[in-house]
């Protein structure tokens, strides 16, 4: 019997959802296996979109499902997962109900199709709708606090657009016009998602690279220089290229060969230069000290939740504790490599206080470093530092312009 058109994409979306919720994998980790049988590039994108929207709105989708069943389905039950995907398509991707049913129920072959069909049909007859912004998991609200969670959720409604960082900031107006985008600051252009970046104007000539607006802040607050700068955990290279474009003599280190190869390819495409080192930063020994070190440390990446909604559901306290230990070990190493008077930038794309604010307080109390408060003049328009002189962004900021990732950035100077 012929399978409905599009069933492979839906089956792959179910595998992606299962990998995140049952095994704690990221969507990127799960994709090679889950998408193995999906040949068409558009179908691959559809699989990711369905799973992504199901994760983005998971709490609200579950609330709808529970409202239409006499007895709640187990959280890990296959019918619940299939219904999540079906509702995500109907309510978020505007897929016609008949197409949702035709491609959703076959995922329950040998299972309770009638139950899933009944729940979905009941909800469609009620003309149900999702809330204005996604509801965050209760444990996330506890970790972030009510205020930060509420502010963040306003920026999670839609996947983000694509931010480009220009090699030459003086060409901002030129590339804004050529790409048909908007600019939030000098050297930045934001373009709508949907077009492969390699097909955008300027890609082949290396005029820009992809980098979220918030991710550009660490290099921005370091500023320009002519000395030696170290970019720790550097791949895929956005910060390295920003430092090189700002005049620094850059050494970029990363432990991953695959990610370092991507960094080298980006450097070649843009014509920017940097020394690259493949090494474990916890074991590597540099030949000289540095005038500046940018440590965008490994973290839980919860600040990227608008583009990676899986982080809302798979990060647990033990992962945060583990990341804090790694970050502190890297900070201790980096401090030893900094020249007297040199600048350390500590940054994470995390919304967890343990990885951001508490780490900055620990640095201040532990090392021969003095805080260098970040000033409002150091930042793009619309952003301002905290009273402590740090930067804390979240996805709800600059909402009218499309938002940005969650980041924490602190700046320090080594005392003589």
Q: What distances in angstroms separate CA 163 from CA 185, 189, 190, 297, 402, one per listed residue?
A: 11, 6, 4, 21, 10
pLDDT of residue 194: 85
What does the block give as tokens for 194?
Answer: 């949907």
In the chain, the percentage of residues whose pLDDT exceeds 90 is: 95
Question: Are 9 and 31 within 8 A, CB to CB?
Answer: no
pLDDT-derived band at 236 (thresholds 50, 70, 90) equals confident
**pLDDT per position as a tens digit, 33-56:** 999 999 999 999 999 999 999 999
Three-state secondary structure call for residue 290: strand
Tell which wins on pLDDT, 391 or 235.
Answer: 391
Residue 23: CA count within 13 A, CB half-sphere: 10
CATH 3.40.50.150 region(s) of the chain? Answer: 212-414
Three-state secondary structure call for residue 76: coil
Per-residue pLDDT averaged across 184-190, rounded?
Answer: 96
Per-residue pLDDT averaged across 244-254, rounded?
Answer: 96
pLDDT-derived band at 278 (thresholds 50, 70, 90) equals very high
Three-state secondary structure call for residue 89: helix
3-state secondary structure 359-402: HHHHHHHHCCEEECCCCHHHCCCCCCCCCCCCEEECCCCCHHHC
pLDDT of residue 110: 74
Three-state secondary structure call for residue 192: coil
Residues noted as catalytic: 349
Q: Which residues contact 297 (CB under 8 A, 6 or more apart)?
A: 232, 233, 326, 327, 330, 331, 346, 347, 348, 355
**Cα distance between residue 410 and residue 224, in whole Å:** 17
**pLDDT per position as a tens digit, 293-344:** 999 999 999 999 999 999 999 999 999 999 999 999 999 999 999 999 999 9
pLDDT-derived band at 208 (thresholds 50, 70, 90) equals very high
Residue found by looking up tokens 């504790």 in the block: 321
Does the pLDDT at position 131 exceed 80?
yes
On average, the pLDDT of the chain sits at 95
User: Where would I find the H helices in 181-316?
Assistant: 217-222, 238-245, 257-270, 311-314
pLDDT of residue 2: 57
Query: Which phi and psi (to 5°) does residue 113 adopt?
Result: -60, -40
What does the block give as tokens for 21?
Answer: 């919720």
pLDDT-derived band at 268 (thresholds 50, 70, 90) equals very high
**Cα distance between residue 98 and residue 102, in whole Å:** 6
CATH superfamily to which 212-414 belongs: Vaccinia Virus protein VP39 (3.40.50.150)
pLDDT of residue 6: 86
Q: What is the CATH number of domain 7-125?
A: 1.10.940.10
pLDDT of residue 363: 98
Entry field: residues in the chain: 416
pLDDT-derived band at 111 (thresholds 50, 70, 90) equals confident
**Cα distance between residue 310 and residue 122, in whole Å:** 28
**Cα distance between residue 248 and residue 241, in whole Å:** 10
CATH 1.10.940.10 region(s) of the chain? Answer: 7-125
What does the block give as tokens for 95?
Answer: 């897929």
pLDDT of residue 109: 84
Element (H, E) at 348: strand 338-348
């Amino acid at each position: 019997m012929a399978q409905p058109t599009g069933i492979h994409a839906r089956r792959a979306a179910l595998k992606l959802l299962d990998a995140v919720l049952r095994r704690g994998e990221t969507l990127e980790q799960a994709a090679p296996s889950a998408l193995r049988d999906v040949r068409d590039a558009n179908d691959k994108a559809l699989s990711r979109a369905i799973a992504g929207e199901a994760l983005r709105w998971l709490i609200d989708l579950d609330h709808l499902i529970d409202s239409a069943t006499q007895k709640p389905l187990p959280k890990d039950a296959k019918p619940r997962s299939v219904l999540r995907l079906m509702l995500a398509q109907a309510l978020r991707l505007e897929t016609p109900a008949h197409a949702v049913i035709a491609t959703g129920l076959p995922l329950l072959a040998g299972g309770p199709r009638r139950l899933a069909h009944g729940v979905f049909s009941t909800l469609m007859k009620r003309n149900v709708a999702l809330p204005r912004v996604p509801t965050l998991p209760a444990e996330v609200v506890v970790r972030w606090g009510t205020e930060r969670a509420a502010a963040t959720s306003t920026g999670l409604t839609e996947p983000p657009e694509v931010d480009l960082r220009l090699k030459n900031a003086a060409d901002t107006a030129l590339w804004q016009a050529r790409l048909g985008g908007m600019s939030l600051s000098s050297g930045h252009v934001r373009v709508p998602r949907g077009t492969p970046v390699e097909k955008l104007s300027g890609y082949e000539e290396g005029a820009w690279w992809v980098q979220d607006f918030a991710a550009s802040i660490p290099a921005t607050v370091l500023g320009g220089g002519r000395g030696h700068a170290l970019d720790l955990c550097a791949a895929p290279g956005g910060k390295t290229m920003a430092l090189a474009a700002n005049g620094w003599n850059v050494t970029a280190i990363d432990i991953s060969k695959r990610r370092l190869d991507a960094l080298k390819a980006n450097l070649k495409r843009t014509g920017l230069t940097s020394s690259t080192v493949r090494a474990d930063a916890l074991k590597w020994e540099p030949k000289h000290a540095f005038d500046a070190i940018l440590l965008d440390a490994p973290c839980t990446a919860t600040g990227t939740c608008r583009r990676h909604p899986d982080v809302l559901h798979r990060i647990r306290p033990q992962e945060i504790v583990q990341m804090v230990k790694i970050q502190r070990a890297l900070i201790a190493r980096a401090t030893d490599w900094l020249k007297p008077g040199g600048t350390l930038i500590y940054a994470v794309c995390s919304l967890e206080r343990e990885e951001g604010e508490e780490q900055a307080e620990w640095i201040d109390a532990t090392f021969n470093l003095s805080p260098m408060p970040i000033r409002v003049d150091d930042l793009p328009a619309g952003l301002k530092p905290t009273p402590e002189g740090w930067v804390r962004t979240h996805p709800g900021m600059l909402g009218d312009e499309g938002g940005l990732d969650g980041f924490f950035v602190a700046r320090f100077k080594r005392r003589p």
